[in-house]
Structure 1
Amino acid sequence: MLPKILVVDDDRYTRTLIEQMLGNSAQVHLASDGDAARELFAVHDFNLVLMDQRLPRHQGLDLLREFRAQRPRMVAILMTGFADVRDAVAAVREGLFDYLTKPFEDLEALEAVIGKALEIDAAYREIDSLRSRLAKTSGAPMVVGQSAAMARLLGQIQQVAGLDTTVLLEGESGTGKDVMAKLIHAHSQRADQAFLEVNCGGLPESLLESLLFGYEKGAFTGAAQASAGYFEKANGGNLFLDEIADMSPKLQSSLLRVLQDHSFCRIGSTQPRSTDFRLICATNRSLAGEVKAGRFREDLYYRINVVAMQLPPLREREGDIFRLAVHFLEFFNAKFGKQCGPFSPAALASLEAHPWPGNVRELRHCIERVVALQSGGVIDAVHLCPSCSPFAVSDTHALIPPAYELAYQEARAGFEQGYLKGLLAAASGNVSEAARLSGIPRQNLYVRMKRWGIVTET
């Protein structure tokens, strides 16, 4: 379904220009004044509203405040002339996605801003849809992402979740292997049985052994009473062994016997106990490499490497970073009772430019920190963790000075220079990569950088 866009402007040329520019990529509804805009807004669920600041009998910003009161998640862009930049800055501070100055100098840049705004709206709607489906699927975790890499992974999970076979999840730390294990469990034939998980790298060998096998009373000092282990408790369900590469050679051998015989003995007992669990393993290392290095048993590797899945790092999940950021923003707003956000375009550019070595876990902690430290309002690039933002604080602050003494041209020039320098740095000096990160066509971006002496040659 094509997105619905409301364009409100008393200038017929502007309305026609935007309508023709979007062509068949959107359903464009036009209004020449505030009254007509109200009528359309009451009937349609718009994905984006482009509102002129100066309208007959109305101020665009006042109308947007009215609309946002009805639909707080509404994504909107204010269109303004040079003289109205203070209103535009105020609009961004109040949570509008962005503002555009007329006359439009760069139609490709205008189209890119509209495209990014529609992506933000799509992220909100995707999260709502996921939550709705989650409410109908008891125990299933919420998985946010529409990138090609995630689509492939989820397709694999859909294929094997219902099959009673061992699954090996491999991927960098923070990619969400535990979430995928829970997703497999939720859609497995054992979903109504136990799901138990243990981090093999976080426990000493003796403690991990007693946790898995259980023990009899008096089996060791402190064993005041008998206790069932995970092999026993997981009978009929799924057992998730995270960071299995950290398991000691002794326990690797013991696990192999359990998988082969479907039985085990508690520590301190010689009485075999039968068990039937589905094993899901995960590691942030290459098990094949660990086998070659002699740190992991080859026979156990072949026993657990039945269906192997590679979880993509966040840097390879194109388009998912801002979706996850929006999801975490809403989650921590609810958790902390705050109303932070939305993200400014500069903040989104910073988030998408960061390499995220800690993957989804790092992004989650970054957004948690932002919400915890902010009292509310728009989240700009300067509010992000220092490591998450490629922009210098002094440069990004030029976007919205504390006072409005600067002339519009000077403020705009200050922001553009700071933004372009930070963007080029985030792209390691590659103009093509900077164009991809910003959504600005490469030739237009190059011209802007050359204007400020940031680049001197192609």
Structure 2
Amino acid sequence: MPPKILIVDDDRHTRVFLERLLAKTAELSLAVDAREARQRFAATDFNLVLMDQCLPDANGIDLLRELRRQRPRLVAILMTGFADVRDAVAAVRDGVFDYQTKPFEDIDALEAVIGKALELDQAYRDIDTLRAQLNTGTHLPVIVGQSPAMAYAQAQLQRVAGIDITVLLEGESGTGKDLAAKLIHGLSARSGQPYLEVNCGGLPETLLESLLFGFEKGAFTGAGQATAGYFEKAHGGTLFLDEIADMSPKLQSSLLRVLQDNSYTRIGSAQTRKADFRLVCATNRPLQAEVKAGRFREDLYYRIAVVTIVMPPLRERSGDILPLAMHFLEAFNAKFGRHCGPFTPAAVEALEHHPWEGNVRQLQHCIERTVALHGDGPIDDIHLFSEGFDAPRAGLELGPGPAESSQAALGYQDARASFERDYMVRLLEAAHGNVSEAARLSGIPRQNLYVRMKRWGIVTER
């Protein structure tokens, strides 16, 4: 279904231009004044509003405030004349997604901003859907994302959840393997029974052994009382062994015997106990490669890899970054009692172009840090990334060399954005920070130049 866009402008030429630009990809409604805009807004759930600042019967900024009181998550772009830029910047601080100056000189930039605004609206709607799922009381973990890669992984998880077999989850750190394990348990016939998880890479061999098998009183120094292990505590339920590749050879052998015999004994005991749990394992390294390298038992591998599901890295989840960022933004706003947001177009661009080597976990920490350190109001790209925490955005570094440029394999929009930002920085340096002089050197009208520099965060005050 195409997105619904409301265009409010009393200038016929602007309405005709936007109609021709957007008619093939969106369902448009046109209004010439505030009265007509209110009527159309009340009748339709619009994905985006394009609002002129100066209307015959109202101020566009005031009208947007009125509409946002009715729908707080309304995504809007303000269209303004050069003389009104200060008011437009203030409107962005109030929650307007972006402003565009008229007449429109850069059609590609206008289309890009509209596209980002529609992405933000879709992210809001995805979050509402997730909230509805959380409120159903099923207690199932919610996995954010509808990209093809994530949809395929979720379909596999749901398919194997109801079959009582061992599952191996592979994927880079931070891709959500623990969440996938909880989903498997929640959708299985064992969902009403215990779910226990152990990080095999975070414990010494002896401690991990006693944690899994349990021990009798006096079995070793400090064993003051008999203690059940996770094999016993997970009876009837699910046991999740994370970072299984880090398990020592001795414990690999012990685990293999448990899986073969469906039984185990506590440390210091001769009594055999029945093992009845579903095993889900996870690793951030391809386990077959570990087998070939001689670091993991081949017979144990075939026992635990009955079904292998690969959790995709964030860089392969096109379209999931913004919904995830919005999900974390809402969560941390609630946690810290803040009102940060929404993301500006520059922030959306930065989020979507960042490499995210740490995957979803890195994105989560980025948003948490931003909400903790940033005051209330819109989040720009400069608020997201700070030196020492995150690498520069891929494709937006200043002044890349030829080899670096060829390796980046930028798309047209990315290359254009990189060039424009680099050019603006160098231009302002050549003008010794004087915007008027920079306008003279470049031949770009000062007001247009200021708007472009503001877009890239190069200048913040007029």
TM-score, length basis structure 1:
0.87
Residues 288, 108 of structure 1: alpha-carbon distance in 2 compared, 3 angstrom cutoff: same
Residue in 1 that maps onto 2:51: 51
Residue in 2 that maps onto 1:374: 374
Residues 12, 293 of structure 1: alpha-carbon distance in 2 compared, 3 angstrom cutoff: same
**Cα offset for 1:44?**
1.8
Residues 216, 433 of structure 1: alpha-carbon distance in 2 compared, 3 angstrom cutoff: same
Aligned residues: 422
Residue in 2 that maps onto 1:32: 32
Residue in 2 that maps onto 1:407: none
Residues 424, 54 of structure 1: alpha-carbon distance in 2 compared, 3 angstrom cutoff: farther
One-letter code of the match for 1:205? E
| Inter-partner Cα distance in structure 1 for 2:13 and 2:140 | 50
| Inter-partner Cα distance in structure 2 for 1:294 and 1:75 | 55
Residues 385, 421 of structure 1: alpha-carbon distance in 2 compared, 3 angstrom cutoff: closer
Indicate if the aligned counterparts of 2:3 and 2:26 stay in contact, CA closer than 8 A.
yes
One-letter code of the match for 1:429? S
| Inter-partner Cα distance in structure 2 for 1:150 and 1:258 | 33
Indicate if the aligned counterparts of 1:47 and 1:121 stay in contact, CA closer than 8 A.
yes
Residue in 1 that maps onto 2:261: 261
Deviations 1:23-61 (A, max 9, x none): 242221111111111122222221111100010121111
| Inter-partner Cα distance in structure 1 for 2:409 and 2:78 | 28
Indicate if the aligned counterparts of 1:168 and 1:307 stay in contact, CA closer than 8 A.
yes
Deviations 1:79-120 (A, max 9, x none): 111111112211222221111111122333322221211111
Residues 39, 244 of structure 1: alpha-carbon distance in 2 compared, 3 angstrom cutoff: same
Residues 169, 377 of structure 1: alpha-carbon distance in 2 compared, 3 angstrom cutoff: same
Residue in 1 that maps onto 2:448: none
Deviations 1:283-306 (A, max 9, x none): 011211111221111110111111
Q: Secondary structure of the equivalent of 1:13?
A: helix
Residues 381, 449 of structure 1: alpha-carbon distance in 2 compared, 3 angstrom cutoff: closer
392, 395, 398: which one aligns with 1:390: 392
Matches within 5 A, 1:308-327: 308-327=308-327
Matches within 5 A, 1:79-98: 79-98=79-98
| Inter-partner Cα distance in structure 2 for 1:450 and 1:247 | 49
| Inter-partner Cα distance in structure 2 for 1:366 and 1:209 | 36
Indicate if the aligned counterparts of 1:381 and 1:389 stay in contact, CA closer than 8 A.
no
Residue in 2 that maps onto 1:404: none
Residue in 2 that maps onto 1:142: 142
Is residue 302 from structure 1 mapped to residue 302 from structure 2 by the alignment?
yes
Task: Decide which moves more: 57-66 or 16-25.
Answer: 16-25
Q: Secondary structure of the equivalent of 1:429?
A: helix
Q: Secondary structure of the equivalent of 1:235?
A: coil
**Cα offset for 1:385?**
2.7
**Cα offset for 1:422?**
4.6
Gaps of 5+ in 1: 392-418
| Inter-partner Cα distance in structure 2 for 1:24 and 1:11 | 21
Identity value in percent: 65
Residues 323, 428 of structure 1: alpha-carbon distance in 2 compared, 3 angstrom cutoff: farther
Residue in 2 that maps onto 1:76: 76
Residue in 1 that maps onto 2:432: none
Residue in 1 that maps onto 2:180: 180
Indicate if the aligned counterparts of 1:81 and 1:101 stay in contact, CA closer than 8 A.
yes
Gaps of 5+ in 2: 427-462
**Cα offset for 1:428?**
4.6
Indicate if the aligned counterparts of 1:5 and 1:27 stay in contact, CA closer than 8 A.
yes
| Inter-partner Cα distance in structure 2 for 1:294 and 1:432 | 36
Task: Decide which moves more: 241-250 or 374-383.
Answer: 374-383
Indicate if the aligned counterparts of 2:397 and 2:418 stay in contact, CA closer than 8 A.
no
Matches within 5 A, 1:113-128: 113-128=113-128
| Inter-partner Cα distance in structure 1 for 2:407 and 2:284 | 33
Indicate if the aligned counterparts of 1:200 and 1:243 stay in contact, CA closer than 8 A.
yes
Indicate if the aligned counterparts of 1:244 and 1:281 stay in contact, CA closer than 8 A.
yes
Indicate if the aligned counterparts of 2:328 and 2:368 stay in contact, CA closer than 8 A.
yes
Deviations 1:353-396 (A, max 9, x none): 221111111111111011001121111111123254737xxxxx
Residues 316, 437 of structure 1: alpha-carbon distance in 2 compared, 3 angstrom cutoff: farther
| Inter-partner Cα distance in structure 2 for 1:420 and 1:186 | 42
Indicate if the aligned counterparts of 2:366 and 2:384 stay in contact, CA closer than 8 A.
yes
Residue in 1 that maps onto 2:252: 252
Indicate if the aligned counterparts of 1:431 and 1:446 stay in contact, CA closer than 8 A.
no
Residues 366, 22 of structure 1: alpha-carbon distance in 2 compared, 3 angstrom cutoff: same
Residue in 1 that maps onto 2:446: none
